[in-house]
Structure 1
């Protein structure tokens, strides 16, 4: 009695299965212009001329090189809203901590690879794989890129020099029917990097620097009559011979409640002076900074091809904290931090 129902239920299921299969016959998003050809592209070897790295903040582009891709070219017209993008199929350098930037063997230098087209209706800005976009209007052009853009990114305070060698491949899948895969690859790409704007190191000419403060009476302290002791701190920076010397800044660290004031070492002991500190000022009378946010620029003095010299001229003076000073030893120490590159 139930057998006649089985064919009926089976027949009703078939149209539903055909509906699920219908999207496989959908029209492709992009259609090619012209005949098919080998679409693989090659990133050519760059010129051997050294690339000069300019002075920029960390995370910015120090130099870039635009390379005309070699190989087949293909143009597609695409429907509005077509989703397209590029992936990274191979990169022999490791990733850095910055997005889409790879770390090179040259210290402080990363590399980022981008691509761009040349057509007015295509993507003309540089885009960096991996990426995905859907910004094409109806009938607009999607083509294999014309240029690879190799950018060198600053990744650290210290920036070195030397050669960067790597191999790279990116893929551009075109949503045609069947899908077209355009691969863009470069092998053993060598870039020679140099600069004359980043210091390899900055060091004091005299270290440690001692400032004799002499002996002073508690009466002179009370009268604010303690003499100021002048001192200079000379810094030599090596590794660059720039036309315009870059800034070098300084701030201090020590037992200090505020800029321009240094507490005595071992304060509170019976043999240490009390109610006394050391006032520190630059040659213009400004308090020496104890914070990196208020770091003071050093004054450039002179330079050679081997080094650039900077100087801080300052004074140190015993000063009363406001109460009655007590006699005793009055030594103090501090360190300084140089901010350069």
Structure 2
């Protein structure tokens, strides 16, 4: 009987010992609710880098521990799916992930986290909740609202705190885009027939032309981070040589002058690339348009009649 009583007392003592907290919290709320911002605008960063950041204040007090060793653990519960990058979650927006961290001392503690604390005394509680938008791929989209509900549990020496985050954040991207491509077939500019005298007098009419480029991953009306320059047989910006010069039936002494709708000469070098203008939104992206005009001009040598054909290509410059 004595052995049985001793055994029961031993179990009771062990249970009480494990439930005793060696760290004590100040008089603060054990649970904090944080509402995340309704919008976050991303900045430039490499893959894995921080595109945007939001900080919310938590506690300013300290906690105390009566023993010299405790284990500090931080964990997170969320319906968001983990991304390919450690401790970063998918947002559902291409190229954009999210990470939730606590600022403890001057460092970011990002769940899941476990660290031994080897001193007794006073320690700061987590000061800030930091929500980071992380770039997860080369292509980055924009404009979608992302629910970001989560719970972070913070535990040390039997003392527990909880941070609950909620809200829907629209991710605004003015920096990155998924890509651009030409819309439609090759542009055929009908120059028509012109007299030599009209060309000499500068009375030749300008023929307008344009082409469209579709870009995805940008918000409506955003300034596209893509410019355009041209390639072709050219001796200078804004001047295109005729095809098959010197061959029978080809005009001489004539070139084709090319300007955009603002009167600037079309560049034939990447270093002088010019911007595209937003035109409209479509179901599969935003449409940017280039508008220009072409006309025959004398090149200084004797003008002789013949065909006045020429070709050029436009090149999208992503730099």
Structure 2 match to 1:147:
128
Counterparts in 2 of 1:114 and 1:50: CA distance versus 1, 3 Å: closer
Task: Report deviation, 1:223.
Answer: 4.7
TM-score (norm 1): 0.50
CA contact (8 A) 2:259 2:294 kept: yes
Rounded Cα–Cα distance in structure 2 between residues aligned with 1:101 and 1:265? 56
CA offsets, 1:58-83, max 9 Å, x none? 5585543446789xx7569xxxxxxx
Instruction: Looking at secondary structure, tell me which structure has more strand per residue.
Output: 2
Partner of 1:334: 313
Partner of 2:118: none
- Cα distance in 2, alignment partners of residues 257 and 75 from structure 1: 78
* Helix, strand or coil at the partner of 2:23: coil
Partner of 1:116: 103
| Alpha-carbon distance in structure 1 between the residues aligned to 2:45 and 2:240 | 33
Distance 1:321 1:281 in 2: 16
Give how far 1:127 is off.
Answer: 4.8
Identify if the C-alpha distance between structure 1 residues 260 and 190 changes in structure 2 by more than 3 Å, giving closer, same or farther. farther
What residue number does 1:251 align with? 228
The equivalent residue for 1:37 is: 23
Q: Is the 8 A contact 1:105 1:164 kept in 2?
A: no
- Whole-angstrom distance in 2 between the partners of 1:74 and 1:267: 86
Corresponding residue SS for 1:285: coil
Q: Tell me the distance in 1 between the aligned counterparts of 2:235 and 2:101.
A: 50
Shift of 1:280: 1.2
Report what 2:53 is aligned to.
64
Aligned to 1:107: 94
C-alpha change, 1:308 and 1:107, in structure 2 (3 Å) is: closer
Gapped runs of 5+ residues in structure 2? 1-20, 26-31, 66-81, 111-121
TM-score (norm 2): 0.53
Q: How far did residue 51 of structure 1 move?
A: 5.9
Residue 159 of structure 1 corresponds to which residue in structure 2? 141
Q: How many residues align?
A: 264
Distance in 2 between the 1:236 and 1:321 partners?
36
Deviations 1:125-171 (A, max 9, x none): x6588xxxxxxxxxxx8646333413114564542558799x9x9xx
- Establish whether residue 288 from structure 1 lines up as the match of residue 266 from structure 2: yes
Q: Which residue of structure 1 lines up, in the alignment, with residue 14 of structure 2?
A: none
